[in-house]
Every structure is written in structure tokens, then in C-alpha cells.
Structure 1
Amino acid sequence: MTTGVVVTGLGLVTAAGVGTKATWRAVCAGVPTAATDPALAGLPVDFSCRVPDFDARALLGRRTTMQYDRFVQLGLIAAQEAVADAGLDPATWDGARVGVVVGCGVGGAGTWETQYRKFDNDGPETVSSMLMPMLIPNMVAGHLGIRFRATGPNLVTATACASGATAIGVARDMLRQGVCDIVLTGGTDAAVVPLIVTGFSQMRALSTRTESPAAASRPFDAGRDGFVIGEGSGILVLERADHAEARGARVRARLVGYGASADAYHATAPDPTGAGVERAIRAALAEAGAAPSDVDHVNAHGTSTPLNDLAEARVLARCLGTGPAVTSAKGTLGHTLGAAGAIEAALTVLTLENGLIPPTANLESQDPEIEVDVVAKEARRCRVDLALTNSFGFGGQNVVLAFAAG
């Protein structure tokens, strides 16, 4: 049993602010959000893309703030927006037909650091009894199920920086198989903590432009030197097309293809041949019943690292030619790890709806070895009927999602 799958709701929390409108406005303006981060003071890399003025107590209540790690808080806020945007009321839906699939790359990193300091400095008796439920990654899906009375399949996917996109693909499969009518899906991560940042820094994965953080994330630029770590959440409401039609829902886009593959090459470096990414792209296109020439736009993984951007651009040129307009949101929002694929899927939906491709922030001089049409300087208005969004993770895990206009 298969059925079409549609997007009926979006929710975003990013370094551009709380809410989809704030994020869309920032990426369309190409305004970088990276800034010096007091929580990282004294580290070799002391800047990030952090959600500004995030008051979890005001948004979720005091108890929630105390008992949930930040990655769960961000996911709950994004999900609340997505459910409301879809015009759904959890008090009236059949919860057994509602699933939750959320991607998370790290989990409760902030809780881990805080509680380990207590353990190390003051002894085991000072460690919170809430350590484990605040720490483990699956709790974001668990809490979404509790909050929204969703009693269908409930799980978290972990494919590093492809986690959010993997979650959307898994959710789509559930809907196509008739297991659910609705799935809340996407990704969340809040790993802007000293230990995690130091780990990436030691790998030389991060930009070191401490003197100009706003200019540090520059996907596809000749002067790129690494990514800028960020935090955030993107949640989408996916529905069976027949279910959405029966309730008269607004269809924001159609999810028409999903391709996944493994490089089986290296723990952290992309396969320079791009063979795995190519398989994922071709699988997504095959499911969509589309030819490479049908693709109008690609929301690239585009991390601003020297190896990743070049490898991705080469496979895009080989598979799709120079026709599609390419962009990367990470110049504006930084790299949100397990949330990135979901945030960028939501931005792809908005591009389809608005016929507007956001620019790649900080792209001043495109790397001459990158031979694709990267949108820069200002947003490009054009018709977009079919778009791909790419997500890749450590371990060589690749996901490509294909969205079509609603």
C-alpha cells in the first residue's frame, strides 16, 4: 500500500530567531547570524550561531525548562508552531495514527557537561536525578509524543548531520506504508557547549575567523576554512495526501523522493568521488519520476569546509549539470548538526512556495573549482517546481530529499 505524502506544517527555531518567518526573512536577506559567544570564552574558536534571546521558561513554562535539555526545548517550540501551522488539534486527532520521528546528532550535551562538573567537583550525590531523561537523544521524540498525544510509532534517528533528513525519509516511509496518517518529523540539536566545540576545533573542522565571526561561514567561497557550529530545530508535519485532502488541509509541498546511501569510505571525510552522494541523488530522482533536467533548485549541504563543498559541487555538476540554482543556508544559520537537514528541508518547502531562492551568505568569490550555479549576493526570484535538499553526515551517511510544488 502506497500513498502520496505532503507537507502541511512547518516550525523553525534557529539563530535567526524563534519562528519560521524570522528564519525565512534572515536567509532571504543573506544576513549571517554568527557572533562571539560568551559561553565559549577562552576557547580557540569562541563564536557560534546560537538562538538569540531564547526564553524557554516563557515559551514552555518553568517546569519544562528545569526538566528538559535545550535540544528538547528547541524541538518542542518548533513542533508547536508546525502543528498549529498545519491546522491540527491534538485534542481531537486519533493519536494512534500519529507518529513522531525526529533526528538528533548529539542529544543532551549541555546536561552532560553541567552534571559531569557537579560529579567531578562536588561528588555523586549532587548529580541530578533527571540526568538520564535529560541526556538521551530519544527523549525529544518521547516528549513530543507526550505533549501532542501522539501514540503511534515514536523514534529518533541518528545519522550525524544527516539525522534530520533521515527522520523525514523514515517518516515518509511510514506514511506511504499506511502505518500513520500524520507524522511530526524533523530534527533538533543544541550542542553549542565547550566540550563539543573543542572536539570539532581539534579536528580542524571549524572556521577560525575569530576576528570576524559574521564572515566565517562562507559555503562555496574560495576563502572558506571550516563551518560555524549552530543550534536549532526544524519540525515538519507530514501527512498522507488523502488524509490531508479529506480534512481540507493546505498543502505546502509534496515529498516525492527520498534517497539514502553510505560512502563506506572514511569516518569523517567525504568520498572525493561522490559516488555515494550520486546514488542518493539518483534514487531520489527515480522515486520522483524525474530527470536531472527537471531539477530547478538544490538546497546544498554546503558546510563551508574545503573538502565537503568541493566534493558536493562536483557530484552536483556531474548528476545535474549547471542548470539548477544552488544555495546553502549555513552561511546564515551556521551548521546545526542533526537539525540541519530538517531546517533546510523546511527552507526548501518555502522556496517552492515563494518562488524565491535565498542567497548563500558570505559568498564573495566562488571557488573556481566549483562549477555550479550558486546563488549569491541577493535572493533569486524564479519558478521552482522540483527541488532537492542534500544532507551528509560523519560515517559517510547521505540523504537526498526531493520536494515538488504543492
Structure 2
Amino acid sequence: MSASPPENSSAVDTSAVSSGSARRPVSSVVITGLGVISPLGNTPDELLEALHAGQSGIAPFKQVPTEAFSTSHGAEATAFTGHINDYGPLEKALQRTIRKGSKVMCREIEMGVASAQLALYDAGFNSEVFDRDRIGVLFGSDYIMSLPEEYTEGIAACIEDGKFNFAKWGQSGLPKVNPLWLLKYLPNMPASHIAIYNDLRGPNNSLTLREASSCAAIAEATSTILRGHADALVVGATGSRIHPLRTLHASLQETLAADREPCSEMSRPFDATRDGSVLGEGAASMLCESREHALARGATILGEVLGYGTSAVGESGGPRPIQIAIANALRATLRSAQNAGLGDVPIGHIHAHGLSDVDVDRDEAAAICEVFGDSSSQPPVTTAKGHFGNLGAGSGMVEIIASLKSLGANLFPIRNLQSLADDCPINAVTESGVSAGDSFISVNVTPQGQAAAVWIRREG
């Protein structure tokens, strides 16, 4: 029931890495397939072209009512409809299975599963090449909220004299709620669906670390493969900040950018006039493999994971916990690469979190200076959030794919960065023509101080 591989993919003798044979030591973890669902398109090439063209994914909301919120614009993945064609080329049996499963998948989960299927197809996944007992899933997500309409009939059945009668809920309200509603919103369901649809029987794990989920998922997947617990893992993350309740939570708990005309200028990372973040949605996945497994099956290697690091710092850690957490994650990433004997690779660029929040951007810039020195000694720094804002847990993976696709060519500038803020002294990319280099570090952080970073280089 797997996706058919690209025509140039061929089955090879993988007996050296089959479940019944002795396993060779794993030298490194590489990336062999990519899939993306984003406000700027549903392929890595569409995403990169849009970034270089300076396109914005920010537009008036279509999924949520605008009257109740402090902002009426965000970056929706409008090209993703949930149609089976959004999942890429699939065998008929798998198409039927996913269509049936969509009844218990909310939009966030659908986007995550679609990105994973696209990555598997891109990597040439098929049962002749992969030992299904040795390939698994590691997926990140936000906390996923139910849609209010899931409870509409149940609540209506308990209304008496204009008030909700709690005593009636068990007998009259709950029976009107779909008994499978919870399956549509559990954050472990992306990993579950991906594994079930493709019969992936290896390690399976889910991380719910908001914006830090993507880098943390790659870190955990790399560690799992290096330990020899799997030959390959589908690694991804999905998130949405565009939801009747989630959008309301964000507007109450975070500083969102004020509506502007044009709305494409609302997200302004590191700019002196930045005034808050912009809400978005998206998902992305990659296939990570041991280098030995990838070479044995003749895969095209797109990149190699050099290092990774995470850190969680709360208010008790100091007056600037975000700065401390990001600096810790960056140092840990450099250290892990050095420990693996890979620390001498030049860093081509940094893909910053770049939230466009006044305080978070200031603290991130301070962390970059703390680790890499002043702007004259830093690698070039870019971020894609000026184009589509904060995609939640999906942001990091979409950004990583954008940076990976840029290696060996030029970087996309930071959109809407017209005047670098005095409190953000970074080596910001503001014009086209800056080389992306052959490796990059990507970093993301949550409002609670959970940071994660990865260091990836291109092959060849």
C-alpha cells in the first residue's frame, strides 16, 4: 500500500541492512526525501521560488471569522484542500485507505500526513527496498484543538431557558457527540496514521513542543538512527495557528501584528517597526536514513545532519530566558557536531526563528551575538517568517526545507526588513545575491523558553 517510487528509483540488494543480517555501524544520518504543505505552495521548489520572488502568503482569513479577533489576516495553506491529490502519487489501495481515514483527521493532521506521503514518494519508498520493521515515524505537532462545531448538537440538547444545564450532559448531550471525535485531534495521530498507512513498524514517537517541535524531531530521529534502532524514519511536523479557538488563544496570550495595508507587510522580522507575529499554518516532512542504508539502496542524498541541540529555560533561569535557551541550543548543536568529528564544516547561514515579536527578536539576536560574535563575524542570517509568519510546529520543518534547498546557491532575503532594529545587531540578509553556503543552522523557540536547533549540510 505504499506510494510508487519515482521512475529513476530501482530496487537494490539491501541484504546487508535487512533485519536478519548483522548491522554495520552508522556513520551519519542523511536526508533523502522532502515533502511540504505551506502558504507558499505544496512542493519544495514552489516554496523556494516564492521565497526568492519575495511573495507573501499573508492574506485575509478564510477559515475563521474575522470579527472576533484583534487581527483579520494570516498565512493559510490555501493550496491544500484535503483532496487525495494533495497527498501525491499513491497506489489506488492507499488512496482508498487515506480517504476513509480522513474522516478522523482534522486539517492539521491531514497536512502532516500529506507532507509525509510526499516525502516518502520523493525518497523512492517501496517495500522492496525498505525493511518495514526498521523504518518508523517521528512527528512533531502543536497541541491540537477541537473545532467548536464538534459539540454544537450536544450543547444545544442541554440548553434550558437560555442556560446550559450540566445535569443533562451525560444523558442528552454526550450521545450527540461523534464517538470518534477525539481521534481527529490527538497530537500523536499524525505519526499513527503515517505508520498505519505505510505499514511502518519501527520506532514511532510524537513530540508536542510547539515551534521547537521540528528541530527536536530531527534531533531525536538522528539519535535513534545513530543508536541503530532504525534504518530510516519519516520525520516531520504540522501546525496551525488559524482556528476559531487557537486564534483566539493567540490573540489573548501573544503579541500579534496589527493589521496593515498591505497585509503582506505585517510580519517584519528584526525590523525597527516590527510589532508582533502573524498567524499561519503548514506542515513538512523528510525521510532521514543512515548513510549506509541510503547508499545501499542507491538513494539520492540531499543533506546530512551534522549536529543538534535543545534547551528549556524558564523564568527562573534569568531575566532573558529566550536568549539563554537559544544560546544553549546553538552551543549544544555546535558541540554535538564537534563530538561527531564534523565541527569543522563552515556554517553557510543561520535560519533564525525571526518571529517579528519585539522581545523575542531582540533576545534571539542577542543569543546569536553571544554564540557567534558581532555581526561582522556571524554567518548570514535569514528567516522565512517575513513571508508567512508563524506556522506553529510546522514552521521549523518548512524553514529547514527552504534552507536545505538553498544550499549551494543564493539565499532569500528577509522579507519586510527595511531598517534593522538597533536591538537586533545580526548579519541580516536584506538583499539577493548572498550565498547560502553549503551548510546551515536552523533554530526555533517557544514562548515558554523551549529552544531547538539543527545543523545540516548539503551532499557533495
**Distance of 2:154 and 2:45 partners within structure 1:** 41
| 1:305 is the counterpart of 2:342 | no
Q: Alignment partner for residue 456 of structure 2, among 379, 403, 406?
A: 403
Which letter does structure 2 place at the counterpart of 1:371? P
Give the aligned partner of residue 315 of structure 1.
Answer: 367
- Provide, for residues 324-373 of structure 1, a one-character-per-residue CA deviation record: whole Å limited to 9, x for no partner: 11111111122111111211221221122x42211111111111221111
**Distance of 1:350 and 1:337 partners within structure 2:** 21
- Provide, for residues 260-282 of structure 1, a one-character-per-residue CA deviation record: whole Å limited to 9, x for no partner: 11112279x9526x222222111
Q: Is the 8 A contact 1:96 1:150 kept in 2?
A: yes
Q: How far has the Cα of 1:143 moved from its partner?
A: 0.1
Give the aligned partner of residue 15 of structure 2.
Answer: none
Identity of aligned residues (%): 28
Give the aligned partner of residue 386 of structure 2.
Answer: 331
Distance 1:292 1:372, change over 3 A: farther
Q: How does 1:7-406 map to 2 (within 5 A)?
A: 7-38=31-62, 39-42=64-67, 43-59=69-85, 62-90=99-127, 92-107=129-144, 109=145, 111-122=146-157, 123-265=173-315, 271=321, 274-289=323-338, 294-321=346-373, 322=375, 323-352=378-407, 354-376=408-430, 378-382=431-435, 384-406=437-459
Q: Is the 8 A contact 2:32 2:287 kept in 1?
A: yes
Distance 1:137 1:174, change over 3 A: same
Distance 1:293 1:7, change over 3 A: closer
**Distance of 2:128 and 2:196 partners within structure 1:** 12
Distance 1:156 1:2, change over 3 A: same
**Distance of 2:241 and 2:156 partners within structure 1:** 22
**Distance of 1:154 and 1:26 partners within structure 2:** 33
Larger radius of gyration: 2
Q: Is the 8 A contact 2:347 2:440 kept in 1?
A: yes
Which letter does structure 1 place at the counterpart of 2:156? N
Indicate the larger mover: 135-144 or 285-294: 285-294
Indicate the larger mover: 118-127 or 210-219: 118-127
**Distance of 2:28 and 2:54 partners within structure 1:** 34
- Which ranges of structure 2 fall in alignment gaps of 5 or more residues? 1-24, 88-94, 158-172
- Which ranges of structure 1 fall in alignment gaps of 5 or more residues? none
- TM-score of the two chains, using structure 1 as the length reference: 0.93
Secondary structure at the residue paired with 1:245? helix
- TM-score of the two chains, using structure 2 as the length reference: 0.82
**Distance of 1:91 and 1:151 partners within structure 2:** 15
Which letter does structure 1 place at the counterpart of 2:182? M
Aligned-residue RMSD, C-alpha: 2.1
Distance 1:5 1:292, change over 3 A: closer
- Provide, for residues 274-300 of structure 1, a one-character-per-residue CA deviation record: whole Å limited to 9, x for no partner: 222222111111222266993220000
**Distance of 2:331 and 2:124 partners within structure 1:** 34
Secondary structure at the residue paired with 2:49? helix
Q: How far has the Cα of 1:44 moved from its partner?
A: 1.9
What count of residue pairs does the alignment treat as equivalent?
400
Which letter does structure 2 place at the counterpart of 1:275? I
Which letter does structure 1 place at the counterpart of 2:76? R
Q: Is the 8 A contact 1:103 1:188 kept in 2?
A: yes
